[in-house]
Structure 1
Amino acid sequence: MGRWERALDAAGVREAGLRADYGRQRQQVTRYRREVAVAAGLLLPERTVPHVIAAAAFMHRTDTLLDSGPLAERRTAAARWQREVTRSLAEGRTDDPELRPLLHSAAAHPVLRDRVLDHLAAAEADLDFTGFDTEEDYQRYVDGYSLPGFMVVAALLGPDGDQSAYRAACRTFIDGSQRLDFVNDLAEDLAEGRLTVPRDRLERHGVTRSDLEQARDLPTVRELLGGLLDEADRALAEARTVIGLVPAVHRPMVRCIVGVERLTGAAARDDLGALLRRSASPAKPAALRLLAREYLRFRRAARQDRR
């Protein structure tokens, strides 16, 4: 029996059709976020892996609905999806094979249900996104959209019972992660008509939207991007406190999540001018060393967990 089959058994997924549904979602996650599927398979207890896969697959389907097609169609699709998911969670049943794993995982981890509903309620913030005038606008976006989305998966890794301190630490992490993503994906977002740097920040540095769209590698542009990465670095460094708030057996995965963001930030800083044309990725040797180190830590934690 392979590890995935053992993971389904450990997660209480017994019925053949439901196992097939989870299997298809694992394939989906592997296609669009292979690193998530690999890390979950190596760094999480078998009983947790299928639930993380189900949560990640739900996020992918929701993001696809929010990002595909004209705004009016996206808004209609998002509203329909919200009604369907909410009704299915309330009734505890669905005919949609894309939702059956989510319902099973929410029954096993009731916190997931609330986080899914929070994220669906926040979806409009992304549909209505037109950019930020100020840093305060950005922080409201983090609270209103980024954090609820992150908590869909993160809630499964957190402590049992009260997660208020854990959520606060996750908020610090997602502030740094979202800021890093906005800097790292600057070229892609601008190509899609999205300016994710607050306008008052541009004015402070004497940078125009045209400077960014035309990929002008100016000292003022580098100063702007470097300053944003500094802020992301500080938040991610502070967010390491989240590691101590999760069960020991989940800490390798959480350390890996934080570590990948720090590596991505370092890669982005290596060539600020290149961010005007493309995103940066962590150096593969460093990422593999991080994964190997956390895998060894997971094996030790798993042995302790079984005692």
Structure 2
Amino acid sequence: MTTWPHTLDRAGITNSALRDAYSAQRVLVARYARAEYTAVRLLLPAPLVPHVIAATAFMHHSDTLIDQGPLPQRLAALADWSTQTQAALADSPAHLDPLLAALRHTTLAHPQMRQYIDTYLKGGELEARWTSFTTEDDFQTYVGTYALPAFMIIASLITPPHEPEAFEAGCRTFILASQRLDFLEDLAEDLQSGRPGIPDQALADHGLTRDDLLKQSEPARVQSLIRHHAALIRRDLTTAAQLERLVQIPHRPFLRALVQLQSARLAAATSHGPKLLDSAPKAPLRRASLILLRAIGTRSTHRLSRSASRLQS
């Protein structure tokens, strides 16, 4: 793994204040998204790593603002944060929050990211207001309005220049699976907060209501619901696995590992079964480590192949 100071050098981040700003985001991301952070550090080219970390930190901070407190507080926090973000990206303020300083520098280096930041912030109101999904169409709208733009902030950093539409379509499939998985893992917590992510129609199709889930009164039907939900996730992850064929070779091990990490989480969730109504499953740390080790081996093979090609040319 390239050292962090050298990673910043490779990304062209030489200003000491900016280096401190990116380093602060690195600490935060490593704390709350350890597996994903490790994958970024190990598998993406060093010049991209600080920018992915800055984008991830921005989304995490935004989500936290939107998700905490009563609705008026969340909407006010979103409006204030959107204003701060837009000002930071449009102008060059003398004093910037470290997170926004890093984000500003990243969008200057990768201007294609800006459109997704704008769309994501606009979609934040839907995230703040939703309490449940009545139908599958409601869930699909949520993904297209909020979850996909959030993911594309990062994914835009590796979007292939010749097939951007196909790549974004594949990203939508991936984030459909990932968002369903988030809602499945967080089912116990979401039920207690009154915001379950499984559509009411899906519950009804399995003879369930939200009250049944809260009372844990129908374990066989809950198991059937989990199997159905898992099948949808597995289908979309299988399709999303084709994403790596679209991107440049140095980015493929990361995308492959990202999909496989979701599959590992899904296996843990399905094994947890109806206990999901009580608690989230444990993170599959051993399987995640094996996925990352295999991906590192693949990346090393790609590097050796490129070196051999250069020697022969």
TM-score norm. by structure 2 comes to 0.93
Map Cα deviations across residues 236-255 of structure 1 (whole Å, 9 max, x no partner). 11111111111111111111
Could you tell me how far apart the structure 2 residues matched to 1:280 and 1:237 are?
A: 22
Could you tell me how far apart the structure 1 residues matched to 2:60 and 2:197 are?
A: 21
Q: CA deviation at 1:305?
A: 5.8
Q: Which moved more, 1:275-284 or 1:247-256?
A: 275-284
Map Cα deviations across residues 226-277 of structure 1 (whole Å, 9 max, x no partner). 1111111111111111111111111111111100111111111223111111
Could you tell me how far apart the structure 2 residues matched to 1:110 and 1:248 are?
A: 22
Aligned residue type for 1:138: F
CA contact (8 A) 1:28 1:57 kept: yes
* Equivalent position of 1:56 in the other structure: 56
User: CA 1:94 to 1:134, structure 2 compared with 1: closer, same or farther past 3 Å?
Assistant: farther
Aligned residue type for 1:265: L
* Equivalent position of 2:143 in the other structure: 142
Tell me if 1:21 matches 2:6.
no
CA contact (8 A) 1:217 1:273 kept: no
* Equivalent position of 2:183 in the other structure: 182
Unaligned runs of 5+ in 2: none
* Equivalent position of 2:221 in the other structure: 220
SS of residue paired to 1:47: helix
CA contact (8 A) 1:260 1:282 kept: no
Q: CA deviation at 1:304?
A: 5.2
The 5 A counterparts of 1:167-206 are 167-206=168-207
CA contact (8 A) 1:67 1:74 kept: yes
Q: CA deviation at 1:194?
A: 0.8
Could you tell me how far apart the structure 2 residues matched to 1:30 and 1:93 are?
A: 28
RMSD: 1.8
* Equivalent position of 1:153 in the other structure: 154
CA contact (8 A) 2:88 2:101 kept: no
SS of residue paired to 1:153: helix
Aligned residue type for 1:276: L
The 5 A counterparts of 1:234-245 are 234-245=235-246
Unaligned runs of 5+ in 1: none
SS of residue paired to 1:206: coil
Aligned residues: 307
SS of residue paired to 1:169: helix
Aligned residue type for 1:15: N
Q: CA deviation at 1:301?
A: 2.8
SS of residue paired to 1:48: helix
Q: CA deviation at 1:152?
A: 1.1
TM-score norm. by structure 1 comes to 0.95
Map Cα deviations across residues 211-239 of structure 1 (whole Å, 9 max, x no partner). 21123352111111211111111111111
Q: CA deviation at 1:93?
A: 4.6
How high is the sequence identity, in percent, across the aligned residues? 39
* Equivalent position of 2:293 in the other structure: 292
Aligned residue type for 2:26: R
